[in-house]
Amino acid sequence: MKQIVKTSPPPVQKYGAHCLSDTNKTPDGRLRFLVPLLLSAQTKDNITAMAIFRLDKFLSEQFSDDELKSFECESINDIKIHNLTFKNIKQAEISTLEKLIYPVGFYKKKALYLKKLGDLEDVPNNVSELIKLNGIGFKMAKIATHICWDTISGIAVDTHVQRITQKLGWAGNTKVTASANTVMKDLEDNIPNNFWGEINETVVGFGQVWCKAISPNCDQCKLRNKECKWKPQLKTRK
């Protein structure tokens, strides 16, 4: 699967939360990993990344609506993400946060959650404390401990991991009806923990480009007649 993903690099490898900070060695650096996780729910990776770029560029300075509308960043290499801090989030008005993160999904609610992060001194270093933060669930907390603290606390199961690992027979069932919690337990029971850290990014990338929820590219997938246990109604793409 990793080799397949390399042939068509997915959005998660360019705009995923693990790409968007300059360091995890300082509190503010760890914050810059946590914020994209907070914003990412129900939002595409490139939209989340653009919101982070706008926060980084404009949060500590005055800006006009025209400047905000005209701002574009096509690559994470265009900007060094180092201005987003606990201090400037704490000092920002909620209306400003809303403008900067729009159009991420549920941006008004996420602006409130983001504002509350400004009251922290550092990102919590364990899942039990992370899930106490508004907008952070178990999946995001597990990713956060990994990218913020270099600690593997489990396998993060999102919709891609939940769907694809069942199709492959790694967890749940090939009818793809098992819950995220069941999939997580099966994966953590069956996969050696030295592989846990790479499962989410690899499977998510595979799901973004190849094994999509709608119209998966089964007819060209190299896993179809090998690892994959799912039996789709194959159609040739036009």
Burial of 152 (0-12, 13-18, 19+ CB in 10 A): middle
Write the DSSP string, 5-38.
HHHS--THHHHSGGGS-S-SSSHHHHHHHHHHHH
Contact 157, 180 (CB under 8 A): yes
- What is the 8-class DSSP label of residue 77? G
The position carrying tokens 């089964």 is: 218
Contact 184, 155 (CB under 8 A): yes
- Catalytic annotation present for 99: no
Q: Which of 110, 139, 142, 167 is catalytic?
A: 139
For the chain, what is the total number of helices (H) and then of strands (E)? 13, 0
- Active site residue ranges: 139
